[in-house]
Structure 1
Amino acid sequence: MDHPKEDVKHETDNITDDEPITVPGYDPNIESTRTESRKAILKADLYLLPFIVLCFCFLQFDRTNISNALTSTFAADLHINNSHINLAQTLFTVGFVITELPFNMISRYIGTERFLPVTMFLWGIATWSQIFVRNASGLYAIRFFIGALEGGYIPSFALYISKFYTHRELALRYAIFWASNSFAGILGGPLAIGLLSLNGRGGLKGWQWLFLIEGSLTCFLGVVMYFYLPHSAATPKHIFGKSYTIFTPREASILTTRVIKDDPTKGLRYGKPVLLAHILETFADWRLYGHLVAAFLSMVMISPMNTYAPSIIKSLGFTSLQANGLNSVGSACALVFSVSLAFSSDKLRERGVHIAVGYLWGAAGLLWLALAANGVDKWILYGGVVWTQMGMGSAQAINAAWLTAKMEDHKRPVALAAYVMSIQLANFPGNQLFRTQDAPRYRHGLIIAASCAIAAAVVILVWKVLYRLFDGKDQGVRVLSSVEVGNSRTEGSDKA
């Protein structure tokens, strides 16, 4: 298709550089068959993604296990109520947001595979240290430090994943990555049942066993991560004087080359730090803000539902153990829904409508739970919980993939950090939605959260229109390489 002259100049300015691309494994002359490419991608899918998902699961365990603890004697033992829990969760978010951007910049510079294992080991220590908490003040302090140590984890891993996949393959992989929330929800309930049942063993309460075991496993996984994750597809890992690599030299070259050809800015920025000028340039980019606002509004529901869903289910007439078990069902449904939505988005090469569908699905569940008549069967109300959990966060991976495609590589670390920060900032109003006086249904908070999710869908659809009008008819950074080399074709380009 034809490009206006001024657009071509702007786009080529973004990607041209006098320096050659010197990324390990990059070979512009390599020719690979479709079978070879699929085999290399499958290897990344099988060797890297499952382990990354496992690591993310433990992040989710450690940030949400307080909800499982609340179904035991945790609140009574610490003499706290919903207001104290809400403040503790707010302080967790403050810590998370404060370190999000600087930790992501550090991780980008020294390597995700080197930096994140250290922070994971440290927050694992902080997690099991919660067994020593005796009052609200101690809870506030420890939740703040856990949040601070987890900052940068999500955008850093998102950038790490993008080393191995092209933009049009990212939505599904990001969905699998973000589906760790669902995996954690599926596993967290049964795990909590087992750990809480240890109440009284070794002189520890059930909630203390919960924090101790999950925190210790997090520390162990941090150590394993340090030795397992490769620096890149083509860079061997050196352990105790020996080196190993997951990919063969040809597989590494295929993966690296196809990613850089898809987005040349990744090659031009390889090994270079994020500068202050890049931060300012990113926040001056109008494209960023639709994604941030939509993410913020859609995620207001997350924190209160993660914290109180087991308690809401319990209030319907189920036991504590049943509530923790039933809470896993929504997570299993969310896993299927979010991955299916992302698969459809990649397959159809469409982003905006898919994101809006995810947001509206969650809003429908919130309204179902809030507006159901008093005295309705408990299983009908439980259905509203499950429907809400299916929609919560179901479109965030697609939104992140869309944002990634729209940002040049020097803006990408900042943009992804800002994106995750916007999600975390939603916890501030979210943590205040469910008040003790509104228990057990929390109708007022549910309606507010639903309204925010609907507004998020409107914002993302408006941004879809703006991209079509003012930003290359939905094309992302990946298409810029075609402009530079004089290729007028737009085949394979991402739609919005």
Structure 2
Amino acid sequence: MSPLQPRKDDSQTTGSESAHSLTKGSVIEVDVKSLKVDDLCDAEPEPFKLYNFLFRRHLYRPKDLDAIATRRSVFDDPHLAPHYWPKPEYENIHRFDVNARWSAREERALLRKIDWKVMLWAAISFSALNLDRGNLSQANSDNFLPDLKMTTNDYNLGNTVFRLAFLCAELPSQLVSKRLGPDRWIPMQMSAWSIVTMAQFFLTGKTSFLVCRALLGFLQGGFIPDLILYLSYFYTKYELPFRLALFWISSNVCSIFGSFLAVGVLRMRGVHGKEGWRMPPSPTQTKTWFRPKGWFTDREEYIATTRVLRDDPTKGDMHNREGLSIGRLWTCVCDYDMWPLYIIGILFGIPSATPGSYLTISLRNLGFSTINTNLLTIPSSVGNMISTAAITIVSENFNDRSFTSMSENVWMLPFLIALRTLPDKVNPWRFYVSDKTYC
């Protein structure tokens, strides 16, 4: 059998001659003699760096596209393989073959297909979330609060209710996603919050406003980690960081689009007397009645499954319809190595959240028109994309994450002081520059 050819075995076993699992209690037997380990790629891939991608892209071009790209993993060690073997319920186990070999050309073609069919729609889904989250700020530019006979304090309360509901929904959403599968739960979330968003047309006052904010927060909580979990089914740890960078940049693109969209929608003020998708569960489950041929060939399914498990064998210890247990959750809570990350997650974004939330109200109070207020939010989104790329390059070149990330607060401090000390009657453009540079 050619080293570049996988076994054509579609049975619900490992699909491999070299290593196979036999369920005898919790024991997995591995055929050690037929393991082939002399034709594997030992070199680790070049870690992705934005600077290299922009200016030294040749580093990411393989010298020989027909060379074997299959990388060595724990599955090639007969003593370690049984401990990392995927559980029998793992949905892709019939496409896992430790003797499968593929070329750099095949892997690159598969990765491009995943980018277009999985990553693109993940970014569009995330943009839909941000478009919905940003519409309240845009509505504020068109006398939203006076129309509903609400005050700024009511708006503050609505934001608080939204964030509390969002936070409270994070863990339950993850539990539901892990049990149903993100491929089912994510479309359900999007459909639910779309209905509530459309219902905002019928807001009449403070009570209906607060109810809508609570429902939206609860329905949107957990969406981002759900989507990232889904992406991890298709990408390795070397490929996912760059895709997540694009994932977050898509929110800025959405903000720009939303601002232009708001300009058109808010021009409809006075009209009629009113103020102005299905996801595949895994790489081997893309075939369905409306997509009979699926996204990938059998060969590509072997590569997609085996490369992900070789990169991270722990992805095979749960299947995509397996719920989380209380014991696993408690283990995560007790892992003190994760506590700094939890703290960062809680504190992240606090300094810039308030100026960003009140920008449109502030600009309207300074005398800018509704249309100009929405258009003036666009430069900051472009600047945010540029600064994100710049900070990423600095972080990669100095190989530092903590101090580079903390520099955000140092950058914000002088502009926060300026916003606090500016006189009551100030040139609108001076305030705008201070606020937008701060955000």
Using structure 1 for the length normalisation, give the TM-score: 0.65
Higher mean alpha-carbon deviation, 94-103 vs 380-389, is at 380-389
Separation of aligned partners in 1, 2:421 and 2:307: 50
Q: Which residue of 2 aligns with 1:398?
A: none
Q: What pairs up with 1:55-454 in 2 under 5 angstroms?
A: 55-206=125-276, 224=277, 226=278, 229-240=279-290, 243-271=292-320, 272-339=322-389, 341-342=391-392, 350-363=400-413, 365-367=415-417, 369-370=419-420, 378-389=428-439
Structure of higher RCO (CA pairs closer than 8 Å, 6+ residues apart): 1
Provide Cα deviations, 1:247-267, integer angstroms capped at 9, x if missing partner.
333333333322222211111
In the alignment, is the contact (CA less than 8 A) between 1:169 and 1:346 conserved in 2? no
Identity %: 28
Q: Determine the structure 1 residue equivalent to 2:118.
A: 48
Instruction: Give the secondary structure class of the aligned counterpart of 1:168.
Output: coil
What SS is found at the alignment partner of 2:350?
coil
Conserved? CA contact 2:138–2:262, under 8 Å: yes
Structure 2 residue runs of 5 or longer lacking an equivalent are 1-78
Query: Can you list the C-alpha shifts for 1:55-91, whole angstroms capped at 9, x where unaligned?
Result: 1122112222111111112111111111100111111
Aligned equivalent of 2:19: none
CA deviation after TM superposition for structure 1 residue 180, in Å: 3.1
Which AA in structure 1 matches 2:311? D
Q: What corresponds to 1:473 in structure 2?
A: none
Q: Does structure 2 conserve the Cα–Cα contact (< 8 Å) formed by 1:75 and 1:81?
A: yes
Q: Which amino acid aligns with 2:83?
A: T
Higher helix proportion (structure 1 or 2): 1
Does the CA-based 8 Å contact 2:283-2:304 persist in structure 1?
A: yes
CA offsets 1:165-206 (integer angstroms, 9 cap, x no match): 222332222222222321221111111111011011123211
Tell me how far apart the structure 2 counterparts of residues 246 and 341 of structure 1 sit (CA, whole Å).
36
Q: Distance in 2 between matches of 1:338 and 1:318?
A: 28
Letter of the 1:126 counterpart:
V
Q: 1:16 aligns with which of 75, 79, 83?
A: 83
- Distance in structure 1 (CA, Å) of the matches to 2:398 and 2:308: 20
Q: Structure 2: how far apart are the matches of 1:341 and 1:35?
A: 32
TM-score by length of 2: 0.73
Q: Tell me: CA distance 1:316–1:135, structure 2 relative to 1, closer, same or farther (3 Å).
A: closer
Q: Aligned pair in 2 of structure 1 residues 237, 333: CA closer, same or farther (>3 Å)?
A: farther
Contact kept? 1:40, 1:255, Cα under 8 Å: yes
Q: What is the aligned-residue RMSD (CA, Å)? A: 2.8
Structure 1: how far apart are the matches of 2:161 and 2:405? 29
Structure 1: unaligned runs, 5 residues or longer: 1-11, 207-223, 390-496
Q: Kindly tell me: are residues 166 and 18 of structure 1, through their superposed partners in 2, closer, same or farther at Cα, counting changes over 3 Å?
A: closer
> In 2, Cα distance between the equivalents of 1:155 and 1:260?
21
Q: Specify whether residues 122 and 343 from structure 1 end up closer, same or farther in structure 2 by C-alpha distance, changes over 3 A only.
A: farther
Counterparts of 1:234 and 1:365, CA distance in 2 = 51
Note if contact 2:263-2:371 (Cα within 8 Å) is conserved in structure 1. yes
Once the two structures are superposed, residues 361-408 of structure 1 have per-residue CA deviations (whole angstroms, 9 ceiling, x without a partner) of 44555445445677775444333333333xxxxxxxxxxxxxxxxxxx
